[in-house]
Amino acid sequence: MKNGVRAEVQKVRENIKEAELVLVGIGEEFILKEAHGRFKREEYDARRAAYQELQTLLQNKNYFVITLCTDGMIREAGLKDERIVEPCGSCYRLQCVDKCTDTIIVPEDDLKKRIKSMFQGAEDKKDIEKSFPACMKCGKKLIWNTVETENYAEKGYLDQWNVYTKWLQGTVNHKVCLLELGVGMKFPTVIRWPFEKVTYFNNKAVLVRIHSRLFQTAEEIKDRSIGIEYNSADFVKELSIEV
C-alpha cells in the first residue's frame, strides 16, 4: 500500500474511533459475482474476511449498516441483526412469484444451508430455485425476495427500514462517521445521495467514500468528506492493520 493511502487509512480509522455513531453503507463492490448460475468460493472467503474485519471495527460503536447486498453474508460476521437493513432484499427470504400476498417466507434450515452452499460455489442457483416450496395462498412457486424479482415485495425490509430511519433521526447534532464501502450509482437514492445529505446538514458529520472508481465527493461537503480510490473490501482489511 502506498504511503499516501496508508495515511488515509489512519485518518479513516481515527474518524471511526472518534465518532459517537457510525453509519455504514455497503454497495455494489461487495456483491458476490455470479457467472452461469455459480459463485466462486474464493470470492466468498475474501468477502467473509472483509465482513469480519468490519465487525471488529464496529463492535464497540453505536452503528447501523445499510447494504445493497442480498447474500446475507453480513449476518454471518457477528454484526447485530437489529443494526442491519437490506433494502434490496435477501436470498434468505422468499415471496410469491406473482406477489398474491405480501407474506414473506423464511426458508427451512435445510434450504438455508443449500442457499449458503450456493454462495460458496457448491451448488447451481437454478437447482436451488427448483427446490423452492409453493405459495400457500395461490399455489404458484416462491421466488427470491430481492429487488431483481419482477414483483418485489418490499415488506420484507420495511419494518427494519423504519428502525433505521429512527436511528438516523437520533444522529442529528452528533459526531457521525458515514462510511461508504463500494457504493456506486446502481441505487444512488438509497445510500450515496442520502449519505451526502446527512453530511451536508450535520456539521459534525464526516463522509468517508471508498470506491475503486466512484470515490469522488460533492463539492458542497469537500471540507467534511474523504474520497479514497481503492477497492472497498480490501480497504476494510487495511483498516484492521495497526501501524
Tens-digit pLDDT profile for residues 44-101:
999 999 999 999 999 999 999 999 999 999 998 889 999 999 999 999 999 999 999 9
Contact at 8 Å (CB) between 177 and 148? no
Residue 112 confidence class, pLDDT cut points 50, 70, 90: very high
The CA–CA distances, whole Å, from 205 to 124, 161, 166, 200 equal: 43, 21, 17, 8
Contact at 8 Å (CB) between 118 and 128? yes
Q: What percent of the chain has pLDDT over 70?
A: 97
For residue 37, the model assigns a pLDDT of 83
pLDDT digits (tens, 9 = 90+) for 170-225: 999 999 999 999 999 999 999 999 999 999 999 999 999 999 999 999 999 999 99
For residue 243, the model assigns a pLDDT of 45
Cβ neighbours, 10 Å, residue 110: 9
Sequence letter at residue 243:
V
In sequence order, what are the beta bridge partners of 87? none
DSSP string across 176-233: EEEEEES--SSSTTTTHHHHHHHHHH-TTEEEEEEESS-----GGGGGGEEEEES-HH
pLDDT digits (tens, 9 = 90+) for 15-45: 999 999 999 999 999 999 999 889 999 999 9
